[in-house]
Amino acid sequence: MRVTVVGAGYVGLVTGATLAERGHDVTCVDSDLPKVRMLEAGGVPIHEPGLPELIAAVRKSGRLGFGADVAASAGGAEVVMMTVGTPTDPQGRADLSSVEAAARTIATGLEGYAVVVEKSTVPVRTGDRVRRTMERNVKPGVEFDVASNPEFLREGTAVEDARKPSRIVLGVPNARAEKVLRRLYEGSESPILVTNVETAEMIKHASNAFLATKISFVNAVARLCEKSGANVEEVARGMGLDPRIGAQFLRAGVGYGGSCFAKDLEAFADIASQLGYEFRLLREVQAVNREQRAHVVDLLRQELWVLREKRVALLGLAFKPDTDDIRDAPALDVAQRLRAEGATVRAHDPVAGAKAKAILPDLDLAPDPYAAAEGADALVLVTEWPAYKALDFTRLRKVMRQPVIVDARNLWDPAAARAAGFHYRSIGRP
Ligand code: NAD
């Protein structure tokens, strides 16, 4: 099928490349010209394992191309996927300006029947707005349908997730659009769930909100563990063995971050409120998550007493391992909190340093974890990159000024850290 993907970001590139791998003829278009030029020249603007290789392979086969002209690319496409960003606006609402702009431009370009798909995460009822906006802008006689096909991929494992999604949700207004989207995923072994558009939109927000709730729940339990001598890892294991609960997303730590959870919870709570229901549970999930970031700094204060003029080594800047995405990364929040208290921060991350510096230009970056720790009064681990797991405590101990570790992801074995002479604090473990 001829497919146009509008928005060549984390979701758009992975979606475009995996659809091309399925045999479709895909063009990824983006309004960011430098990004398009980089892609055309064979570069990949994001860090995502397996993506450069996949893009190279499907480009060679001639099934993936790039462009900047959304309208021209949409004309002649059977499916147009919208994968533009949907950040939070200053009022806490989903900023749908990119979706609106994309919908208008796509509409002007359509030449014949196409299914226009919301893949971006959007509040329930956005599909209706997209359809009305497009109706005002299409050429006379051109037919289209608006569908929702939410994306569930996780950065870091996005390529595998897109190849074998846990489920394919097709929110469609009619059988004609369903038929088109079923063809798009023909041959996939993933379960396909066909719903109306509103239900599909709601499935995405509800899923992310539920996952965030699990994280805040276990973090609240961790706080209780810290006060009672229980061990949150064992509590989580004991809970997770119950198939009704499940073991995933029950890891205590600094809380969730990234481009999705915070903004999707905010947007979900906001649309609920607009529709006349106060989703208070979500507000509490957000509050617990905020407190957890502050708690990490508090643990450091408990050890160092005064943070002013202390040197802190910060390990990990990306919001999670295996990505360079620093949107709403807990590490940046922790760094700013430390600096606000007069501490100096020297950070290391295997890939996200440059993107973090674009946000915090005066952030001091070290070339490796040991250089970050040189002369530090404490080391705070915020992102559990696998490479950090094997750090040499004895060597760290030698280069640091004071032997203090706050492990905000429970990456290390407390006994090993203490055996190397560290005052070691983690989340919810005695
Ligand atoms: P992103 O910021 O990486 O990419 C969005 C791209 O859209 C950018 O390259 C931008 O230049 C482009 N764009 C914006 N307006 C445009 C327009 N009018 N025409 C053409 N291009 C335009 O964002 P992302 O992380 O890929 O997320 C996209 C959507 O997918 C969001 O709604 C997000 O919530 C959702 N989502 C993201 C993930 C994830 O892990 N990143 C997972 C599931 C769903």
What tens digit of pLDDT does each residue of 88-125 get? 998 889 999 999 999 999 999 999 999 999 999 999 99
The predicted model gives 311-336 an average pLDDT of: 96
Q: Which of 83, 93, 100, 263 to mutate to test the pocket of ligand 1 (most atoms within 8 A of CB)?
A: 83
Please give the pLDDT value at position 98. 98
> Is any ligand 1 atom within 6 A of the Cβ of residue 10?
yes
Looking at the predicted structure, is the pLDDT value of residue 430 above 90? no
Provide the residue type at 313 as one letter.
A
Instruction: Tell me the C-alpha distance between 16 and 13, whole Å.
Output: 5
Q: In what order do the strands lie in the sheet with 144-148?
A: 64-67, 25-29, 2-6, 79-82, 114-118, 144-148, 168-171, 192-195
- Provide the percentage of residues in the chain whose pLDDT is more than 70: 100
Positions annotated as catalytic residues are: 260
> Is any ligand 1 atom within 6 A of the Cβ of residue 201?
no
- Decide: 145 and 177 in contact? Cβ < 8 Å: yes
Taking CA 258 as the corner, what is the angle to CA 257 and CA 263, rounded to the nearest 5 degrees?
90
CA of 359 to the centre of ligand 1 (A): 19
pLDDT tens digits along 211-262: 999 999 999 999 999 999 999 999 999 999 999 999 999 999 999 999 999 9
CA of 138 to the centre of ligand 1 (A): 24
Give, for 60, the enclosing helix (H) or strand (E): helix 51-60
In 186-278, which ranges are continuous DSSP H helix?
Answer: 197-228, 232-240, 261-274
Please give the pLDDT value at position 92. 86
Instruction: Tell me the C-alpha distance between 297 and 425, whole Å.
Output: 11
Please give the pLDDT value at position 183. 98
Instruction: Tell me the C-alpha distance between 338 and 360, whole Å.
Output: 13
pLDDT tens digits along 152-198: 999 999 999 999 999 999 999 999 999 999 999 999 999 999 999 99
| 52: confidence class by pLDDT, cuts 50, 70, 90 | very high
> Is any ligand 1 atom within 6 A of the Cβ of residue 73?
no
> Is any ligand 1 atom within 6 A of the Cβ of residue 85?
yes
Looking at the predicted structure, is the pLDDT value of residue 375 above 90? yes
Taking CA 138 as the corner, what is the angle to CA 102 and CA 8, rounded to the nearest 5 degrees?
20
> Is any ligand 1 atom within 6 A of the Cβ of residue 16?
no
CA of 393 to the centre of ligand 1 (A): 40
Ligand 1: nearest atom to the Cα of 13:
26
The predicted model gives 366-383 an average pLDDT of: 98
Other beta carbons within 10 Å of 89: 15
The predicted model gives 269-289 an average pLDDT of: 98
Q: Crossing angle for the helix pair 330-340 and 280-304, nearest 10 degrees?
A: 50
Give, for 340, the enclosing helix (H) or strand (E): helix 330-340
Give, for 17, the enclosing helix (H) or strand (E): helix 10-21
> Is any ligand 1 atom within 6 A of the Cβ of residue 35?
yes
CA of 11 to the centre of ligand 1 (A): 6
Look at ligand 1, atom 22, and give the residue with the nearest C-alpha: 7
